[in-house]
Structure 1
Amino acid sequence: MMSRIKILSWLTVIFFCWTLLGCSDTIESVQAFNSESKSPIPRVENISEVAPPKLIQELNKNFSQTKPEVKILSPQIDEIVNSQDVSVSLQVKGLDIFKDEELGMGPHLHFFLDDKPYQAIYSASEPIILEGLAPGTHTIRVFASRPWHESFKNPTAYAQTTFHVFTATEDNNPSQDEPLLTYSRPQGTYGAEPIMLDFYLTNAPLHVVAQENPADDIADWRIRVTINGESFLLDTWQPIYLTGFNKGQNWVKLEYIDENGNVIQNAFNSTVRAINYDPSLQDTLAKLVTDKISLDKVKAIALKDYQGLQEVKTQEKEEIIEEELSEEVEEVKEEKSEILEEELTPEVIEEELVEDVTDIAEPSVNESKPENMKVEQDKDILPQEIEPTADLTEEQNEQENISEELETKENKQEDVNDSDNQ
């Protein structure tokens, strides 16, 4: 009899949880899940949840089977580093991390040092150098992220290490056994709504396990979100998209609480960040959440070395044009070669050489004195003061020499004739 009751209770719990998971993760449904015994939730007036942007839903399909593996190779857990400059080596498998040069986004790592806002890491090939760390204990948390800063939530996507500079202290030293909340987004400046809220959970029990036996030590959990003073609860681990932020500065606080509304004591389980909302900023993320960029173009942030359809078409056209031009050039070369072979026969070459020699030996008067050449004389300059050109002088000298030779021959001929007559 007891076994039947236990089975029925299990089925009831499973059915109840399945119903919750099947519901849309809206603020209203999350608030309705809380019983009257829990702390009252302030009314949410400005902040509201909306569906994930369509482009992000489409891009997310590229990561449906992706399960990254992230490791911190150094420093090791509880390692004592005798320097305030620490080198951190990371390893990533199962995910290409990169940043598209044009769009400025891509799959990456969220790198957290203690309770500071994360640093986006787009390459793990070189160590990360942390300079001037304060003496004492420090904790590094790293997890893989999609291009729009949504965390991968498989267990191997997260890595954590706690080390000590010179010596250990109590600060920045989370318990390895207690649930741990890592605040991820929102962070920085946004140019458009909706704005994604996302976080990472470690050691958080399943609701089914936490609710199975009210007498055990397993505490059920919620995430209390407070935005500009308005609070609501989340009981599912997934990103949500929100609107209703103020222009300018806003503040967001995330707290990991138990079923009684108490913050579970562990480092980083209560974190607050200030963010900026500037609608004039139109970066890639703003265009992505407002569908103001084409899916074909924005795929470049999800797929490494992606060539869009338009880019492929342009490249194909350029290759076709280049090939056609190359063929035309070859045809022209062949035609010119054939013409040259036909025209430059030995007879033609000899004839052209003879003509060139003849032109040199007997220069044309017309060539030396173009018809269209006119020499304007100043009235004050006498004709004899104009000096002949060098070409004309040479021609005149040649003509005078020829005349002198002819005259000499004629004189000799006359002398011969006179002698004959005598």
Structure 2
Amino acid sequence: MMSRIKILSWLTVIFFCWTLLGCSDTIESVQAFNSESKSPIPRVENISEVAPPKLIQELNKNFSQTKPEVKILSPQIDEIVNSQDVSVSLQVKGLDIFKDEELGMGPHLHFFLDDKPYQAIYSASEPIILEGLAPGTHTIRVFASRPWHESFKNPTAYAQTTFHVFTATEDNNPSQDEPLLTYSRPQGTYGAEPIMLDFYLTNAPLHVVAQENPADDIADWRIRVTINGESFLLDTWQPIYLTGFNKGQNWVKLEYIDENGNVIQNAFNSTVRAINYDPSLQDTLAKLVTDKISLDKVKAIALKDYQGLQEVKTQEKEEIIEEELSEEVEEVKEEKSEIVEEELTPEVIEEELVEDVTDIAEPSVNESKPENRKVEQDKDILPQEIEPTADLTEEQNEQENISEELETKENKQEDVNDSDNQ
């Protein structure tokens, strides 16, 4: 009998271990504390929790001692604004907020208006203008965020104010005394898994305090997460990284519930968002969660004005080259100066000799110079008659002889013609 009990015990242990191993890659669905009166939650089949990406763990070391202080300077709590356009002024201390131009990420603020998705704010130097607000009550929530959109969870990192446009209403007016859930991530479009889930809690009691006396009014809490219809519970306030999202559109719902699984009534304690998963999108966040970017390069999103090792090496190399060129230029200048000095010495001597010779050759100032004289032609002298030369006389005689011969021939020809006519 005892052997059968031992065998059954071992079989039970083996079956239990096999069950745990079979579920190790998925999130176990859990029910709220008083689960006997609740219908069981379907088992989570697709969504799995994984460890934070290595690069994010490394970058997070840069913020281990960072405790930002965020304040909303205007509008003030319960302020009535007589305009539908409202100017919001913020103040941030203890954290440099900026966006790296190349990577498009950096420490920033998550700015929420009512129950709308947040707006990322990378500079608090200028006021934020909210245009065309509906009349009535509105609430602004702001908290500091790391570059990959994980919230800082120290108390001063969060600020909240509720104001009224013209008059107060019941909408968008959370109780200051009740726990408040602010849904943060996921939001927008993602290019890679894992996808971070993160939120901010206000006025949430410690579990130890809530569980100390079951008869008191302090309710213990959980965050119920539902993704594409699959639900699970979280009892710690920290981000988790998930896989198993569908390509295309997904929906995520966060609820702040009590120990009986009921949503604690307060504005924004139940929020749902639609997100997109597009694996073809390879932005900086996608590269960050899949380790497809170097740690040296991605540090630029965590540290303002960061110069990577490659940039430092390039700068040092340029400085060395510039220094070497400067030395070469100085050497060339010195050599040229020496050559000029060597060439200049004989020229100076030659110039001095030329000056001496010039001084000797030039007449003295007292010597008189010859005056210019004009030679005038005597107007009384007439040109002499030129007698013809012998050569010229002979030519004239020859021409006269030729003329006489021509006349004689012409006369003879006339006589011949006359005889023919007769």
TM over 0.5: yes
Bigger-Rg structure (1/2): 2
Cα 1:314–1:395 shift into 2, 3 Å: farther
Cα 1:68–1:397 shift into 2, 3 Å: farther
The 5-angstrom pairing of residues 348-363 of structure 1 reads: none
Q: For the residues of structure 2 that align with 1:130 and 1:188, how far apart are their CA atoms?
A: 21
- Give the match for residue 367 of structure 1: 367
- Secondary structure of 1:31's match? coil
Deviation (angstroms), 1:418: 69
Question: Residue by residue, what CA displacement relative to the aligned partner does 1:12-51 show, whole Å, maximum 9, x if unpaired?
Answer: 9999999999999983396698854555222111111000
Deviation (angstroms), 1:130: 0.7
Cα 1:112–1:417 shift into 2, 3 Å: farther
Identity of aligned residues (%): 100
Q: For the residues of structure 1 that align with 2:355 and 2:139, how far apart are their CA atoms?
A: 95
- Give the match for residue 405 of structure 1: 405
Q: For the residues of structure 1 that align with 2:108 and 2:7, how far apart are their CA atoms?
A: 45
Deviation (angstroms), 1:102: 1.1
Gaps spanning 5+ residues in structure 1: where? none
Q: For the residues of structure 1 that align with 2:356 and 2:400, how far apart are their CA atoms?
A: 24
**Structure 1 residue ranges (4+ consecutive) displaced by more than 4 angstroms after TM superposition:** 1-26, 29-39, 348-422
Question: Residue by residue, what CA displacement relative to the aligned partner does 1:234-258 show, whole Å, maximum 9, x if unpaired?
Answer: 1111000000001111111111111
Cα 1:83–1:351 shift into 2, 3 Å: same
State whether residues 14 and 208 of structure 1, in contact with CA within 8 Å, keep that contact through their aligned partners in structure 2. Answer: no
Cα 1:332–1:165 shift into 2, 3 Å: same
Q: For the residues of structure 2 that align with 1:411 and 1:330, how far apart are their CA atoms?
A: 110
Deviation (angstroms), 1:274: 0.8
State whether residues 27 and 232 of structure 1, in contact with CA within 8 Å, keep that contact through their aligned partners in structure 2. Answer: yes
- Secondary structure of 2:37's match? coil
Deviation (angstroms), 1:347: 2.9
Cα 1:91–1:169 shift into 2, 3 Å: same
After superposing the two structures, state which structure 1 stretch, 15-24 or 378-387, moved more.
378-387
After superposing the two structures, state which structure 1 stretch, 380-389 or 47-56, moved more.
380-389
State whether residues 27 and 47 of structure 2, in contact with CA within 8 Å, keep that contact through their aligned partners in structure 1. Answer: no
Deviation (angstroms), 1:81: 0.4
State whether residues 68 and 144 of structure 2, in contact with CA within 8 Å, keep that contact through their aligned partners in structure 1. Answer: yes
Deviation (angstroms), 1:315: 0.6
Cα 1:75–1:369 shift into 2, 3 Å: farther
Question: Residue by residue, what CA displacement relative to the aligned partner does 1:128-174 show, whole Å, maximum 9, x if unpaired?
Answer: 11111111100000000001000011111100000000100111111
Deviation (angstroms), 1:217: 1.1
State whether residues 182 and 201 of structure 1, in contact with CA within 8 Å, keep that contact through their aligned partners in structure 2. Answer: yes
Deviation (angstroms), 1:281: 0.8
Deviation (angstroms), 1:59: 0.8
The 5-angstrom pairing of residues 256-271 of structure 1 reads: 256-271=256-271
Scaled by the length of structure 2, the TM-score of the pair is 0.76
Cα 1:220–1:393 shift into 2, 3 Å: farther
Question: Residue by residue, what CA displacement relative to the aligned partner does 1:69-111 show, whole Å, maximum 9, x if unpaired?
Answer: 1110100000000111111111111111111111111111000
Q: For the residues of structure 2 that align with 1:387 and 1:194, how far apart are their CA atoms?
A: 133
Scaled by the length of structure 1, the TM-score of the pair is 0.76
- Secondary structure of 2:197's match? strand
Q: For the residues of structure 2 that align with 1:164 and 1:215, how far apart are their CA atoms?
A: 38
Deviation (angstroms), 1:342: 1.6
- Give the match for residue 277 of structure 1: 277
Q: For the residues of structure 1 that align with 2:307 and 2:340, how far apart are their CA atoms?
A: 46
Q: For the residues of structure 2 that align with 1:385 and 1:231, how far apart are their CA atoms?
A: 146
Deviation (angstroms), 1:259: 1.1
Cα 1:263–1:331 shift into 2, 3 Å: same
State whether residues 68 and 95 of structure 1, in contact with CA within 8 Å, keep that contact through their aligned partners in structure 2. Answer: yes
Deviation (angstroms), 1:340: 2.0
After superposing the two structures, state which structure 1 stretch, 7-16 or 288-297, moved more.
7-16
- Number of matched pairs: 422
